[in-house]
Amino acid sequence: MVETIVAQQTAETIFQAWLREMDDRRLESEALTWIWLSETHNSNPWDEELWRRDCVRSECQRRQKPEIFLRAENNILAQIRRTAE
State the total domains in the chain: 1
Burial track 26-50 (b if 16+ CB lie within 10 A, e otherwise) = ebbebbbbbbbbbeeeeeeeeebbb
Tens-level pLDDT at each residue, the chain (85 residues): 556 655 667 889 999 999 999 999 999 999 999 999 988 877 666 688 899 999 999 999 999 999 999 999 999 999 988 888 7
Q: What is the pLDDT of residue 40?
A: 82
Q: What is the pLDDT of residue 58?
A: 98
Q: Which amino acid is at 28?
A: E
Q: Determine the structural domain holding residue 51 and report its residue range.
A: 2-84
Q: Which amino acid is at 55?
A: C
Q: What is the pLDDT of residue 61?
A: 98
Q: Which amino acid is at 8?
A: Q
